[in-house]
Amino acid sequence: MALYSVLAASQKLTAAGLNLLIPNIIVKGSDTSRNTTISSTADPDLQGMTLAVGTHEVHMLILASCAASGVNIRTGWVLSGGTWNVPIRACTGPGQAATGGTTDNTTFQADGNAANVSAFYALAATSAYSVIHEDCFTVDVSVSGTLAFYWAQMVSNGTDVTVHAGSSMWARQIG
């Protein structure tokens, strides 16, 4: 497992080369609420992360809530302007049949979904946050593009689903 980029003895150390050693992190600065829509669109804060040609590890931590029971969130990843392997991401969070609050959820899911296939999570009917993790270590990019977290309600409902400030996306080139 490579920890640092390989530098040849005669290779110049550049800002671009050093930037490869640092993970790219976006932290959501404000809440975004959506209702009466099942059309997934990019989150206004969790988008625009450039993935260069190469292999990347990507992590998403999503803090979401909804005040009504039975209102679920659908999520996905999109690489705009680029070409990638449409990787399988590990999706963990409250299961689609979750009925409890955030601390006593009765179902939990751990699924593998292609980046362009929606994952569905039930949100506890509370103002407390449900936590969703989506991760992949094999995001292979052949043409550079920008990564975005896409989401919407699973079923159209008049009650807001909110993705909260503090949600984040993290990527690091590993190959």
Number of H helices, E strands in the chain: 1, 13
**Model confidence over 11-25: pLDDT tens digits?**
777 776 676 678 899
Q: Residue 2 has what pLDDT?
A: 46
**Model confidence over 32-44: pLDDT tens digits?**
999 999 999 999 9
Token pair of 108 as six digits: 């939990």
Q: How confident is the model at residue 68 (pLDDT cuts 50, 70, 90)?
A: confident
The whole-model pTM stands at 0.86
Question: Which among 146, 142, 96, 145 is positioned nearest to 118, based on CA atoms?
Answer: 96
| Contacting residues for 165 by C-beta, under 8 A, at least 6 apart | 28, 29, 30, 31
What stretches of 50-139 show up as alpha helix (H) in DSSP?
none
**Model confidence over 117-175: pLDDT tens digits?**
999 998 877 777 889 999 999 999 999 999 999 999 988 889 899 999 999 999 999 88
Average pLDDT value for the chain: 87
- As a whole number of angstroms, the distance between CA 169 and CA 108 comes to 22
Q: Residue 103 has what pLDDT?
A: 55
Please name each of the domains of the chain with its CATH number: 24-173 (2.60.120)
CA dihedral 27, 28, 30, 32 (to 10 degrees): -170
Residue 104 has pLDDT above 90, yes or no: no
The total of other beta-carbon atoms located within 10 Å of residue 162's CB is: 20
CA atoms within 13 A on the CB side of 159: 16
| Contacting residues for 95 by C-beta, under 8 A, at least 6 apart | 105, 107, 108, 109, 121, 122
